[in-house]
Chains A and B, each alone.
Chain A
């Protein structure tokens, strides 16, 4: 059975991490997900517009929600970015909390005939949540054609998808901060336990305090390396920027060699579903993914 979703890819997956958007497009048909892309939707604000003006960010995201609610036959909205998830959930929480406030925000959408409607059955989920909750770990396991047995994967969630739990639906789904490990196991790989998996990659600080920012990124990568990880995986492209694009610089700030490949979540799933690494854009990383690809090829040959 296929799932049809209104799909918000976010800004960064179409900018500095194009391999994320591409890998999601490759993975979706393998999982019978029909993506109806919201080409007219706007940036979620990434916490920065919220810092500037709450009414503005709530209006912008209400606009995105209204566009998503207008996609016929879609069961909900899907994103592929922890930051989009957190920033949008924050706005949705306020919009849902108060009728007068929601009406006020909807007035900003009225000229185009748009309105966000509160509806407890409507949701906005990161691909990670959708995969575990709506497709299911068992269904995923059945579709694995290339089990990644022996590959040691360090999960890195991204703050916006794990905190605050009350806003992010953890009351109903208390295991959302364990899903990456569950998926890693389901595709035959081994989840690596290390200190940083629920911590901050430092990205929001990169322009304001480069030292703090890259020490955060460097420390988590170092911890994962010390726990014998072959690679790291993250459902957040902003984390990916700090953990992969900035990794060579982060190494200087923690004063040690790093060099750990960091995969986007759909890339890891795609590998297990049999998609070729190149089709998943794994050649477009700063830290080369060759070792991971070689290990997977060896596993397949063995």
Chain B
């Protein structure tokens, strides 16, 4: 039977001792899980190892940890593969730590109440329908639920919260799990408070516009919820469907970027910042006190850019259009004028499985 070394991060607040590393040697087949390895160490060597687990089949979401630095379910990670990865990183042990962004209760157990559940509560995670309830259940057409099935797959394991790189520097960020949950209700046709929900999360300086678009949550989610994609769907609805002009420049940045590419084909960088601060408008960026204040904050950076010779004044002010810019404009016009939101939902189609015709039309057209 192959042998593996697990290096566990231990911490017991009641002992008064600071956290420390401890190694355990275990023997099990490579296709068994890291959780199996931890449980073997606990059962045979040290009964005080703290780990939370239940189903051991990636259903309950209890055993989130970090393995070789990556947030994972321990039951869903093969020990042989974890050992190979550790070796490639130049380490002789599989490193297992508690999840990040949450306080540790003991060893590998973190306080989900203090962070994850609090943030989920923040987004009002229940249906808010309007009018009298129907006599029996609410009935909705199946196709209207397709868009939110992905966010419904969440098992609240907190692995995405652990991996979130925005939350790492801004603990107040509402975060991937809670925002994916928010989309589950924003996208639900039975909910009557879509606009209020969106406005609330767009105006919050730690809301949808505090996501740094790093794909960390997409990468680690054991259920393929792709929380960041749900955050982008929230943004799409906030700006595109409701035109919510938030104070975080979320609306302004999207409008500025999209408009500049329509005009020039490539990015006119020196206009991006002022336009973003001015809700997409250059004029507004110079008249609105809030925008001007932000421009002043960014001013030293501009000076540094000019001083270093990186940015030539002429290049900063003048930006050439693409030779075939009329093609880009025509594409913009075609897409914006047909009045439909056509999306390919990869969660439904799969990575390469949707080759039969019609998957797009059936699966993912949003009204």
Contacts and interface: CB of A to CB of B under 8 A. Distances in A.
B210 A212 contact: yes
Given A101-B359, A108-B335, A42 B323 contact: no
B259 to A, nearest CB: 10
A164 B330 contact: no
B196 interface: no
Contacts of A16: 269, 305, 310-311
Interface in B241-259: 248-250, 252-254, 257-258
The main secondary structure of chain B at its interface with chain A is: helix
A19 B315 CA distance: 14
Interface residues of B, number: 82
Interface string B319-354: 000111001101110111000011110100111111
B308 interface: yes
Interface stretch (B47-55, B129-137, B215-223): B215-223
A205 B310 contact: no
A52 B240 contact: yes
A205 B210 contact: yes
A46 B88 CA distance: 31
Interface string B223-250: 0000000001001100110000000111
Interface stretch (B19-27, B143-151, B162-170): B162-170
Contacts of B301: 245-246, 248-249
Interface stretch (B105-113, B183-191, B260-268): B260-268
Most A-side CB within 10 Å, residue of B266, B300, B350, B352:
B266
Contacts of B308: 245, 284-286
Nearest to B248: A208
B365 to A, nearest CB: 10
A160 B315 CA distance: 27
B28 interface: no
Interface in A268-288: 283-286
A55 interface: yes
A98 B216 contact: no
A204 B215 contact: no
Contact of A53 (B214, B215, B324, B335): B335
A113 B213 CA distance: 34
B323 A96 contact: no
Contacts of B273: 207
Interface string A90-123: 0001101111110010001101100000000000
B297 interface: yes
A65 B129 CA distance: 45
Interface in A107-160: 108-109, 111-112, 159-160
Given A16-B310, A101-B344, A199-B165, A42 B269 contact: no
B39 interface: no
Nearest to B361: A100
Interface stretch (A29-37, A213-221, A223-231, A290-298): A213-221
A81 B331 CA distance: 24
Interface in A24-77: 39-40, 42-43, 45-56, 58-60, 63
Interface in B262-289: 265-269, 272-273, 276-277
Contact of B305 (A160, A163, A213, A245): A245
Interface string A239-257: 0000001101100000000
B261 A51 contact: no
A97 B351 contact: yes
B49 to A, nearest CB: 25
Contacts of A58: 344
Contact of A164 (B173, B218, B261): B218
Contacts of B343: 54-55
Contact of B261 (A14, A39, A45, A112): A45
Contacts of B14: none
Contacts of A47: 213
Given A99-B357, A245-B310, 20 more contacts: A11-B267, A15-B315, A16-B305, A16-B311, A39-B323, A40-B324, A43-B266, A52-B258, A54-B342, A55-B341, A99-B356, A100-B357, A100-B360, A166-B351, A199-B214, A205-B166, A207-B272, A208-B249, A209-B248, A249-B300
What 5 A-B pairs are tightest by C-beta distance, nearest first? A163-B215, A11-B267, A200-B214, A101-B360, A159-B214
Interface of A: 11-12, 14-19, 39-40, 42-43, 45-56, 58-60, 63, 86, 93-94, 96-101, 104, 108-109, 111-112, 159-160, 163-166, 175, 178, 199-200, 202, 204-205, 207-213, 215-216, 219, 245-246, 248-249, 283-286
17 contacts: A14-B266, A15-B266, A15-B268, A16-B305, A42-B265, A52-B239, A54-B343, A98-B344, A99-B356, A100-B359, A104-B342, A200-B216, A208-B210, A216-B168, A245-B305, A286-B304, A286-B307
